Amino acid sequence: MQIITKIEKMQQISDSIKVSRQSIGMVPTMGYLHDGHKSLIKKARENNDIVVVSVFLNPIQFGPDEDFENYPRDLERDAKICEELGADYVFHPDKDDMYPRDFSTFVVPGESMTNVLCGVSRPGHFRGVCTVLTKLFSIVRPDNAYFGEKDIQQLSIVTKLVSDLNLRVNIIGCPIVREEDGLAKSSRNTYLNDEERKAALVLRNSILEGKKLIDSGEMDTEVILKSIVNFINEEPLAKIDYVEIVDFDTFEKIEKIKDNTIIAMAVYIGKTRLIDNILVRI
Ligand code: PAF
């Protein structure tokens, strides 16, 4: 496995892979890989000739008060994981090469997809995500790109980005990977102390409470939301950023549960903002 740090070098490699008609599976990451990322790399490995994992901590998707400076980084560990999982390349470009001083072109997703859920408290976040992915896709030229369903809004926005801009890559969503007790895997889980780690279970458990209500026949989203919010508020270390029940395709809020509904939430546990969701199928 090779670690490629230069954009031009990655482009040359991708070009020659294309000439040899091999497929490229890409897993875009910001590093500090966990089991969620591993499942994406495994999936990419199963279904492509060549696997490229990008490790790039993208500054433009972080707000001024977010954790860019403190975000965990460990390229050596990430590279080892990628190698063990059979990746062919780790693409780790330099921040200043990706965004030189005169960089001025951004890809801005539609407001209807960004003025809900995570987009509300993270203005500019999805603009940063769409801009970096457009650049990464253009450099690596993957046939398939793999994303976790944990970031369900990101998955939906990236699917729309690729469709709207006719980018020639298939976006493939992969199921949320969880710890044994149900907490969704995330690089941010490393910020939690023991007490917070226990409290963090409130995300998954409150979603399961909501799901239980739906399974018992309750379809009124207001009732379900109230029950989830009350459940979370019982946990002293938890502070809700949002809890929403929305249509998967449009992200519009809905009044009655129907097929393809998402229950999604972001909750602060102490200072750490965690997300989780469930896709409800009827
Ligand atoms: O999900 C992430 O880790 C990032 O948003 C992504 C897709 C790698 C873009 O920087």
Q: Is the CB of 33 under 6 A from ligand 1?
A: no
In this predicted model, what pLDDT tens digit does every residue of 46-55 receive, in sequence order?
A: 999 999 999 9
Residue of 26, 29, 32 to test ligand 1 pocket, by largest number of atoms within 8 Å of CB:
29
Question: Which backbone phi and psi does 40 adopt, to 5 degrees?
Answer: -70, -40
Segments of the chain with pLDDT less than 70: none
Nearest by Cα to 91 from 59, 143, 55 = 55
Provide the mean pLDDT of the chain: 96
Which ligand 1 atom sits nearest the alpha carbon of residue 129?
9
Buried b (16+ CB within 10 A) or exposed e, 163-183: eeeebebebbbbebbebeeeb
| Closest C-alpha to ligand 1, atom 1 | 29
Residue 129, ligand 1, Cβ within 6 A? yes
Model pLDDT, residue 65: 86
Distant-in-sequence, close-in-space partners of 149: CB < 8 Å, separation ≥ 6: 155, 173, 174, 175, 176, 277, 279
- Sorted by where each starts, the structural domains of the chain and their CATH numbers stand as 2-174 (3.40.50.620), 187-277 (3.30.1300.10)
Say how far apart CA 223 and CA 244 lie, in whole Å.
12
> Is 37 one of the catalytic residues?
yes
